[in-house]
Amino acid sequence: MWWILALAACDGTADTEPGGHTGRQPQDTAEPLVVAQDVLTTDLRLDLTTLAGHATVVLLPATDARVVKLAANGLNVSSVKVNGEEVEPTWKEGIGHIPVENTGEPVTVDMDYTFSERSILQFDGWMPSQQVSFIWPDNCMNLYPCNPSPDDGVTVTMAVTGQAAGLTAVYPSTTTSDGPSYMPGIAVGDYTRLELGNTTAGTALVAWHFPGEASAARAAEGTANLVGAYDFFESTYGAYAFGPEAGTVEVNWGSDSYGGMEHHPYVHVGTFDFSDEEAQLHEAAHAWFGDGVRLECWEDFVLSEGTTTYIAARAAEEAGGLDFWPYYVDGFLKPACDGLEVNTIVLPDETCNEIDFENDDLWSLATYMKGACFYEEVGDVMGVQELDAAIADFYGVNVNESARMGEMIDTILAHADEADHAAIETLATEWLRTYECPENYAERCRSRQP
Ligand SMILES: [Zn+2]
């Protein structure tokens, strides 16, 4: 995601349930050959008038487990069936422990429920006041039964009804392939749909904007290089993973309508930033990192946001001749490094899913910018094309899977000359594993070495 102003304030509000963390599933003890529970697919039927939902979740139970676990903290569940038979789950802190006969094959769980209205202050589910859903980072359980852990990918099919007469509900009928539990999104509005064109690989790009000339003008400005950017991502890093059509949807996040959210295939971008190519390209880029390759651990957040921030700048440069680096460095890196905004070590990867992510400094723009600067300087050392080849290699190996930033660094090293290894490892230490920003950080990050 990408935000400029106060979206971060939506964590920690009094109304927010502690459910983000109680909902996270404890890891089963790691023994050899133990298969962990794996959610495979989820089909959702959601009615926005009655707030009724029906979910069909196909999941593989963990080895020898007698239950499957699904978080449903924000749901009022009326019926649970396993392979068509009514069952009685045990509920612990919002997580349903659903009894199954474990044959080692996937089971089908059907759940009837209602989901709760969430307010703009909560910002963690379906918000009728804004006609938009927002479930990042781990609030899927306010909209549908799920595993909010970032590593468990799911392919989601959806049918949404009950929007007011004359309005359009924009959502994917299928996400096509596995993404994180926060990826599915719904937006309802009096939308105009624009056909932006096709990439060379054939992905059709579309945009939905609100009525009126101002919105039309914002859409034209913000999407001017969107087809070219997708073309760059596809031809440089690999195929788009989330279907034959992708696009961007203008959403009303109230007074915080800045930035966007990577709800591929139809990303959300707030009204105030809908004209902003940086916000548009950032959310587009998340199809490759964050969604396409998802996080194994929240501690690897820089793999999503640092990589996305960097490749968005690459697309801007290649598709539009635009230079995002002054904006990145002056707008966001300097305040973090100078102490005006949060700074942090952006790769605290000694642990996995042990940090309190929603309240951790890792969820700050320091992670986006120091991560992007790491790549920018690695490109100076090994060559931008060779770094692109390393990123493509990593995407090809890990698309629709979860991965860690350390594995990305290993892939980069494997593509670099032996003579450059020490320099690249020093950059990883300076930008990713050190609190203080490197000396001359601003000049270093924004300058492309020949
Ligand atoms: Zn982002």
User: Which amino acid makes up residue 153?
Assistant: G
**What does the alpha-carbon distance between residue 293 and residue 151 come to, in Å, rounded to a whole number?**
10
H-type alpha helices, 226-364: 226-236, 277-285, 301-320, 325-328, 334-337
Q: Give the distance, in angstroms, between the CA of residue 134 and the centroid of all CA atoms in the same chain.
A: 11
**pLDDT value at position 273?**
97
Task: Band the pLDDT of 292: cuts 50, 70, 90.
Answer: very high
Q: What is the mean pLDDT of residues 68-80?
A: 97
Q: What is the mean pLDDT of residues 192-197?
A: 98
pLDDT for 146 beyond 50: yes
pLDDT > 90 in the chain, percent: 91
Can you give the residue ranges of every domain in the chain? 296-446
CA dihedral over 333, 334, 340, 346, signed as positive or negative: positive
**pLDDT value at position 2?**
65
Place domain 296-446 in its CATH homologous superfamily. Answer: Neutral Protease Domain 2 (1.10.390.10)
Helix or strand run (H / E) with residue 78: strand 75-82
- Ligand 1 centroid – CA 47 distance (Å): 29
Q: What is the mean pLDDT of residues 121-125?
A: 97
**pLDDT value at position 359?**
94
Residues 306-358 have pLDDT tens digits of: 999 999 999 999 999 999 999 999 999 999 999 999 999 999 999 999 999 99
Residue pair 442/329 in contact (Cβ under 8 Å)? The answer is: yes
- Ligand 1 centroid – CA 61 distance (Å): 32
- Ligand 1 centroid – CA 81 distance (Å): 37
**pLDDT value at position 33?**
58
Q: What are phi and psi of 289, to 5 degrees?
A: -130, 130
Which tokens sit at 290? Answer: 């964050």
**pLDDT value at position 30?**
44
Q: What is the mean pLDDT of residues 368-390?
A: 98
**pLDDT value at position 447?**
79
Give the chain's length: 450
Task: Band the pLDDT of 18: cuts 50, 70, 90.
Answer: very low
Beta strand pairing status for 245-251 and 266-270? parallel
pLDDT for 76 beyond 60: yes
**pLDDT value at position 83?**
98
**pLDDT value at position 14?**
34
CB atoms within 10 A of CB 14: 6
Q: What is the mean pLDDT of residues 10-36?
A: 43
**pLDDT value at position 26?**
42
Q: What is the mean pLDDT of residues 251-268?
A: 96
Q: What is the mean pLDDT of residues 361-384?
A: 97
- Ligand 1 centroid – CA 397 distance (Å): 21
Q: Which residue has the higher pLDDT, 270 or 10?
A: 270
- Ligand 1 centroid – CA 381 distance (Å): 25
Longest Cα–Cα distance in the chain: 66
- Ligand 1 centroid – CA 330 distance (Å): 18
Q: Give which of 352, 94, 130, 359 is closest to 261, Cα–Cα.
A: 130
- Ligand 1 centroid – CA 272 distance (Å): 17
Residue pair 91/147 in contact (Cβ under 8 Å)? The answer is: no
- Ligand 1 centroid – CA 137 distance (Å): 11
- Ligand 1 centroid – CA 306 distance (Å): 8
- Ligand 1 centroid – CA 171 distance (Å): 19
**pLDDT value at position 21?**
36
pLDDT for 16 beyond 50: no
**pLDDT value at position 77?**
98
Q: What is the mean pLDDT of residues 153-157?
A: 98
Task: Band the pLDDT of 262: cuts 50, 70, 90.
Answer: very high
| DSSP-assigned states of every residue in 107-164 | EEEEEEEEE----TTT-SSEETTTTEE--TTT-GGGTS-B---TT--BEEEEEEE-PP
Residue 123: partners with Cβ closer than 8 Å, 6 or more residues away: 7, 10, 134
Task: Band the pLDDT of 110: cuts 50, 70, 90.
Answer: very high
Q: What is the mean pLDDT of residues 144-155?
A: 97
- Ligand 1 centroid – CA 366 distance (Å): 12
Residue burial 351-377, b: 16+ Cβ < 10 Å; e: rest: eebebebbebbbbbbbbbbbbbbbbbb
The distance in angstroms from the start CA to the end CA of the chain is 31
- Ligand 1 centroid – CA 2 distance (Å): 4
**pLDDT value at position 17?**
35
pLDDT for 9 beyond 70: no
- Ligand 1 centroid – CA 305 distance (Å): 5
**pLDDT value at position 5?**
40
- Ligand 1 centroid – CA 244 distance (Å): 22
Residue burial 77-99, b: 16+ Cβ < 10 Å; e: rest: beebebeeeeeebeeeebbbebe
- Ligand 1 centroid – CA 60 distance (Å): 30
State the average pLDDT for the chain: 93
- Ligand 1 centroid – CA 284 distance (Å): 9
